Structure formats: structure tokens, C-alpha cells
Amino acid sequence: MHYLTFRELQAKLGGRGRSTIYRDLEAGRLPQPVKLGSRLYWPESEIDAAMEKLAE
């Protein structure tokens, strides 16, 4: 399983801003991150699934 950093997540989402991404997290449009150590990561497979769901 591959995990995305915040910068990789931004790039995958087309350069979205930080506040827009956190707004999407609060609204449930994006999956919640996983905390590893002191950093947040997003499972790439879950981001791909969320993007497909939003495209429908």
C-alpha cells in the first residue's frame, strides 16, 4: 500500500489549496488521513476511490 504525503495529495488533486482539502475532509468527500509518527498520510487507494466516487 502506498501512502501520500500532503504535498503528493495536493498534486494528485490538481494543486488544491490546504484549506480546500481540509474542508473536503470535514465534509467527508475525502478519506481521513492516517497518522504515522507525527505526520499525516493518505492511503493512495482510498484517494483514488474517493475521486472515482466524486466523478460519478
Question: Any idea how long the chain is?
Answer: 56
Burial (CB count <10 Å: 0-12, 13-18, 19+), residue 42: buried
pLDDT for 29-53, tens place per residue?
999 999 999 999 999 999 999 999 8
pLDDT for 9-31, tens place per residue?
999 999 999 999 999 999 999 99
pLDDT band at 54 (very low <50, low <70, confident <90, very high): confident
Cα 34 → chain centroid:
10
Please tell me whether the overall predicted TM-score, pTM, comes out greater than 0.85 for this model. Answer: yes
Candidates 9, 8, 5, 2; CA nearest to 29 is 9
Cα 30 → chain centroid:
6
Number of other residues whose CB lies within 10 A of the CB of residue 28: 9
Task: Give me the residue spans of the domains in the chain.
Answer: 3-55
